[in-house]
Amino acid sequence: MSEATRITVRGESPYDVVVGTGVHGELPGLLRPGVATVAVIHPQGLPELARPVTAALSEAGLDVVALPVPDGEACKTADVAAGLWSAFGRHGMTRSDAVVGVGGGATTDLAGFVAATWLRGVQVVLVPTTLLAMVDAAVGGKNGIDTPEGKNLVGTFLPPAGVLCELSVLDGMPRADYVAGLAEIIKGGFIADPVILDLIEADPQAATRPGGPHTRELIERKIRVKADVVGADLREAGLREILNYGHTLAHAIERAEHYRMRHGEAVAIGMTYAAELSRLDGRADLVERTRAILTSVGLPTAYHADAWPRLRDHMRLDKKNRGARQRFVVLDDLAVPARLEGPPEELLERAYEVIARS
């Protein structure tokens, strides 16, 4: 058992992110006192992920209700959420009880959403089991479900009572899924912590496997980046928007792909696009470094040349927009994010032409 690292997310409702190997025993301690029943939401295709979680909770004397949901993005629907609310009612869950979400980012998004909306809010602890969920989705208190019109358009802000990152579960991740999670770590390097980029550039192949020499440091550095941002701006009133670097195009691509493309792959393409936007607008020129580091770990940097009209339509429905005014996160310099508001259509199309040609 390794020593657990505790990273505190500050703000109006502070909580800890616990990182380490053999840390499932820390889970009951993340719950606030007075809990009797805990609903454990987990992907139905991966019951083994929930077993150590339910065991730790049961050993602490809690009444545990396991609630499987569809795997991946398919769980983030109003119908699935309604089914969970019904299950909470059948099991008599009160405002002093809790939800624990175990799984990837889709599952933790859903768990946070149903916890925030059941009885106007019960506590939730998240146990992310993918790299992407550990470094991004499970940290920050943003919860949501999808609609046919777009991703995460219905959601809430509810900081979790705690987050538990058991690193040993990463050993069983498919390589492609693990590599996709690196995109969010790399994003953290570009917007806030360039040491992340240095570590990956020093040995890209080592970065693509869970047991690499810098795996834990990369994970903890990215969690700290997000913890610092969301601790200062939970509700995305300003600073938190920088975490959407690369995501405006990424979400459009995901929708065009009917969510069959991995989120991290879409974000990698989106970051390349955002870097090109920054360059064309006379800001930082980090296009080649962006493309080189993403390519070195096996992430994509281009998309279909003929997809622009459809993607442009999807981008108009983005959470950062204000009315008809499009907003993008760009870089004035390395680790100096900024906003590009109302860019001309010609600039947006020229940036896309570059990544479509790549």
What are the tens digits of pLDDT across the range 250-268? Answer: 999 999 998 899 999 999 9
For residue 223, the cross-strand partners are: none
Active site residue 244: yes
Domain 5-172 belongs to what topology? Rossmann fold (3.40.50)
Give the model's pLDDT for residue 131.
Answer: 97
Q: How far apart are CA 292 and CA 301, in angstroms?
A: 9
Report how far residue 292's alpha carbon sits from residue 204's, in angstroms, rounded to the nearest whole number: 10
- Three-state SS at 65: strand
226 is catalytic: yes
Which CATH fold would you assign to the domain 178-357? Dehydroquinate synthase-like, alpha domain (1.20.1090)
pLDDT higher than 80, residue 166: yes
Specify which of 135-149, 224-238, 289-303 reaches the highest per-range mean pLDDT: 289-303
pLDDT at 11: 86
**pLDDT band (50, 70, 90) for residue 206:** very high
41 pLDDT higher than 90: yes
Q: For position 318, what pLDDT does the model report?
A: 61
Average pLDDT over residues 295-301: 98
Beta bridge partners of 162: 16, 125
Find the helix or strand (DSSP H, E) in which 59 lies: helix 47-59
Q: Which residues are annotated as a binding site?
A: 71-76, 105-109, 129-130, 142, 151, 184, 247, 263
Residue 34: what pLDDT?
92
pLDDT tens, residue by residue, 135-160: 998 998 899 999 888 778 899 999 99
Q: What is the mean pLDDT of the chain?
A: 94
Catalytic residue selected from 216, 240, 279, 314: 240
Q: Which of 247, 255, 262, 279 is catalytic?
A: 247
Mean pLDDT of 270-281: 98
Is 339 a known active-site residue?
A: no
**Which residue positions form the known binding site for Zn(2+)?**
184, 247, 263
- Mean pLDDT, residues 100-115: 97
Once rounded to an integer, what is the mean pLDDT over residues 277-291? 97
Query: Among residues 42, 166, 184, 265, which one is catalytic?
Result: 184
Report whether pLDDT(321) > 70: no
Task: Indicate if 120 belongs to the active site.
Answer: yes
Active-site position among 26, 201, 236, 257: 236
**Is pLDDT at 60 greater than 90 in this prediction?**
yes
Return the pLDDT at 175.
95
Looking at residue 323, what is its pLDDT?
A: 53
Concerning whether 24 is annotated as a catalytic residue, the answer is no
CATH 1.20.1090.10-classified regions of the chain? 178-357
Res 320: pLDDT: 56
Q: Are 45 and 19 in contact (CB under 8 A)?
A: no
pLDDT band at 228 (very low <50, low <70, confident <90, very high): very high
Whole-model pTM over 0.75: yes
Domain with CATH 3.40.50.1970 in the chain: 5-172
Which listed residue (24, 142, 187, 216) is catalytic?
Answer: 142
Residue 324 has pLDDT above 70, yes or no: no
Our answer to whether residue 263 is catalytic in this structure is yes
- Cα angle: 21, vertex 116, 170; to 5 degrees: 20
Question: Band of the pLDDT at 236, cuts 50, 70, 90?
Answer: confident
Report pLDDT for 319. Answer: 56
pLDDT of residue 2: 64
What's the Cα-to-Cα distance from 183 to each of 136, 148, 245, 295, rounded to whole Å? Answer: 10, 25, 11, 11
Q: How far is CA 281 from CA 72, 275, 305, in A?
A: 37, 10, 22
**The pLDDT value given to residue 284:** 97
247 has catalytic annotation: yes
| Averaged pLDDT for residues 269-283 | 98
